[in-house]
Amino acid sequence: MEELQDVQLTEIKPLLTDGNSARNFQDFDCQEHDIETAHGVLHVTMRGTPKGNRPVILTYHDIGLNHKSCFNTLFNYEDMHEITHYFAVCHVDAPGHQEAAPPFPTGYQYPTMDELAEMLTAVLTHLNIQSVIGIGVGAGAYILTRFALNHQNLVEGLVLINIDPCAKGWMDWAASKLTGWTTNLDDIVLGHHFSSDELENNLELIQTYRLHIAQDINQENLHFFVNSYNSRRDLEIERPIIGVNETTVKTLQCSALLVVGDTSPAVDAVVECNSRLNPTNTTLLKMADCGGLPQVVQPGKLTEAFKYFVQGMGYMPAVTMTRLARARTTSVSSVGSGDIARNQSPAVSQADAIRNRETNQGAARTMEVSC
């Protein structure tokens, strides 16, 4: 297998400037809805209105965050405006995680991860959304994947950041319980999001999210969501093998872009998920010099990747090449014998790699891109 080569890239814009340093996760031109479902109320925020037969971008955040702290750096990024002009966006907040959310009443039963996924059907019905392209991070990626497995006809594509398809093992559960007795919840959540290197060296970023988790998220509600995520079932997805199980295996039918930073705590889990998915419609994107929150630390790279992901699905045919794509190159290899990589020039842009993968749907291996 050819070895990926990490290319040193410089992001155009810094992460924390001006208002962001004060946890200024602001929405613009949005409508908020509280939607009744079979498992409780979901708070959702719509940006724009559904346009014709186009899918709506549906986001779901990770534990310790809400839609603002998880996604607003990405969706307020300048180059993302071309996408939000083309697609409406629906941000979902997990129960009890929207701004100023009150604590749940005594005896409240928080939804399981499976139930959180099923709650999304009521959201789509209420907002008259016909289909979605999902963007999920961590727990949110798991929820959107479960939803796609149960409702293949409603999901056209998925961008899954830091996804873990596995159930939490008994030893992991015991370790988390012991850790919970000796460590506060904020530190546990920060350890879920960030690598040890980020925790030690990216102090401004860590302080921003430490304050957000501790002060902006109701701690009792956060505890419920963390417990629900830690009690998740295995997604039970399996890579189809032509001529063996392609008609019976449980896997995603839609296009999928898996994203992880190369120093993220989730690298192993994302690689495991990649090994279980259909290689003809899956891309694994590893971001160099990036930790646990690619959509926050490298919004330009992720925006570019997403543009070409949706273009490969047949949308935004006249998409504008971003400044990042014009300015950089990257090396590409496939997971397998490297046949796909040999059919390309030695150095291609990240965007071209994703676009080429979308046009090589019959290829036998998942494309892995390092940027």
Over range 330-341, report the average pLDDT.
Answer: 33
| Pairing label, strands 367-370, 332-334 | antiparallel
Entry field: residues in the chain? 371
Task: Tell me which of 8-12, 61-65, 98-102 is least confident.
Answer: 8-12
In this prediction, residue 369 has a pLDDT band, given cuts at 50, 70 and 90, of low
CB atoms within 10 A of CB 44: 22
Angle (CA) 328 333 339, round 5°: 130
Nearest to 155 by CA among 234, 256, 69: 256
**What is the DSSP secondary structure assignment for residue 15, as one 8-state letter?**
S
Residues 252 and 247: their CA atoms lie apart, in Å, by 12
* Percent of the chain whose predicted confidence (pLDDT) is above 90: 67
Q: Do residues 350 and 305 make contact, with C-beta atoms less than 8 angstroms apart?
A: yes
Q: Do residues 320 and 274 make contact, with C-beta atoms less than 8 angstroms apart?
A: no
pLDDT of residue 342: 28
pLDDT of residue 362: 41
CB atoms within 10 A of CB 201: 11
Residues 262 and 45: their CA atoms lie apart, in Å, by 31
| Pairing label, strands 56-60, 367-370 | unpaired
Q: Give the best-scoring range by mean pLDDT among 12-21, 174-183, 356-365.
A: 174-183
CB atoms within 10 A of CB 204: 11
Residues 250 and 259: their CA atoms lie apart, in Å, by 21
- Is 134 or 244 the better-scoring residue by pLDDT? 134
Task: Tell me which of 149-158, 169-178, 199-208 is least confident.
Answer: 169-178
Nearest to 86 by CA among 254, 313, 354: 313
- Is 275 or 11 the better-scoring residue by pLDDT? 275
Over range 291-299, report the average pLDDT.
Answer: 95
In this prediction, residue 175 has a pLDDT band, given cuts at 50, 70 and 90, of low
DSSP calls for 250-318: ----SEEEEEEETT-TTHHHHHHHHHHS-TTSEEEEEETT--S-HHHH-HHHHHHHHHHHHHHTT--TT
In this prediction, residue 164 has a pLDDT band, given cuts at 50, 70 and 90, of very high
In this prediction, residue 156 has a pLDDT band, given cuts at 50, 70 and 90, of very high
Residue 322 parent element (H or E): none
Q: Do residues 352 and 369 make contact, with C-beta atoms less than 8 angstroms apart?
A: no
Q: Do residues 158 and 80 make contact, with C-beta atoms less than 8 angstroms apart?
A: no
Tokens encoding 74? 């990405």
3-state helix, strand, coil in the chain (%, to 5): 40, 15, 45
Task: Tell me which of 24-38, 51-65, 233-247, 284-298 is least confident.
Answer: 24-38
Residues 47 and 126: their CA atoms lie apart, in Å, by 15
Residue 5 pLDDT more than 60?
Answer: no
Over range 308-322, report the average pLDDT.
Answer: 82
Residue 291 pLDDT more than 80?
Answer: yes
pLDDT of residue 317: 85
Residue 289 pLDDT more than 70?
Answer: yes
- Is 328 or 238 the better-scoring residue by pLDDT? 238
Sign of the Cα torsion 162, 166, 170, 173 reads: positive
Strand partners, 92: 44, 60
Residue 250 pLDDT more than 80?
Answer: yes
pLDDT mean across residues, the chain: 82
Nearest to 306 by CA among 265, 351, 337: 351
* Percent of the chain whose predicted confidence (pLDDT) is above 70: 74
pLDDT of residue 321: 55
Number of helical (H) and strand (E) elements in the chain, helices listed first? 15, 10
pLDDT of residue 96: 97
Task: Tell me which of 78-87, 240-249, 358-367 is least confident.
Answer: 358-367
Residue 66 pLDDT more than 50?
Answer: yes
Residue 7 pLDDT more than 80?
Answer: no
Q: Which residue has the tokens 């998920």?
A: 273
Over range 341-355, report the average pLDDT.
Answer: 41
pLDDT of residue 30: 82
In this prediction, residue 248 has a pLDDT band, given cuts at 50, 70 and 90, of confident
Q: Do residues 113 and 144 make contact, with C-beta atoms less than 8 angstroms apart?
A: no
Q: Tell which phi-psi region holds residue 29, choosing left (phi > 0), alpha (psi between -120 and 50) or beta.
A: left
pLDDT of residue 324: 45
Residue 367 parent element (H or E): strand 367-370
In this prediction, residue 14 has a pLDDT band, given cuts at 50, 70 and 90, of very low
Over range 257-269, report the average pLDDT.
Answer: 96
Residues 58 and 92: their CA atoms lie apart, in Å, by 7
